[in-house]
Structure 1
Amino acid sequence: MTKIRFQADADLKQAIVASTIRRETNIDFQSAYVAGLEGKTDQEVLAIAARDEGLLVTHDRKTMSIEFGKFITTQTSTGVIIISQNLSISDAIESLILIWEASEAEEWINQIMSIPF
């Protein structure tokens, strides 16, 4: 089993990334900037996350679930977590740490989940 690596989408609040890493220093959480995701289409973002084996974390509720459905018809996804923009940063961090502690990367293949659940 492989530990989860998170990949932030370009729309994800940077405070969630930075604070999650600060709270749990062993978490591998790559920023959108490091991955070069700015200006990429959802399909490109999903492909980069899959290539880099990162569970994509996004706020994009409008288009990401549709694009995810299209993506997994032809490719394998490392999974997507959609965090509500209305969720507090502290609750988002707690949710991500819980997911990281309680599951493995293989459990997320071609899975999508919204937080709050």
Structure 2
Amino acid sequence: MVRFLADADLNYAIVKGCRRHEPAMDFLSANEARLQGVPDPEVLALAAEQNRILVTHDLETMPGHFGEFLMRRESSPGVFLVSQYAAIGEVIDELVLVWAASDAEEWQNRIVNIPLR
């Protein structure tokens, strides 16, 4: 089962839109997880502990932190990088599709751009 965690950089409209389209979707917001001010490595560790794919707009520093995280730990559920310029509706549709049509194992230890290209 695919589960998501939004970091503090992700537009909350994406979380809200996913929940509206698919109420059964398990998508924890940064506010719910109390991630404001939490350093990226700790956010990655929390996502791994909870077996959640991290969804972020942080295209600058998160890829580097993710690489370091994989070198220190056994595995990660994965990271989805979302461009801030992507249409919110398209991002929501793709996240709902990932949730509905894939297994969590498919994304393990991967960093993926959303929308998928």
- TM category (shorter chain) comes to over 0.9
Q: How does 1:48-59 map to 2 (within 5 A)?
A: 48-59=46-57
Equivalent position SS for 1:73: helix
**Counterpart for residue 114 of structure 1:** 113
Unpaired stretches in structure 2, ≥5 consecutive residues: none
Shift in Å, 1:82: 0.4
What is the percentage of aligned positions where both structures have the same residue? 49
Shift in Å, 1:31: 0.5
**Counterpart for residue 67 of structure 1:** 65
> TM-score of the superposition, structure 1-length normalised?
0.94
> TM-score of the superposition, structure 2-length normalised?
0.94
**Residue from 6, 12, 21 that aligns with 2:4:** 6
Structure 1 stretches (4+) deviating beyond 2 angstroms? none
- The CA distance in 1 between the partners of 2:51 and 2:33, in whole Å, is 12
**Counterpart for residue 47 of structure 1:** 45
Unpaired stretches in structure 1, ≥5 consecutive residues: none
Aligned residues between the structures:
115
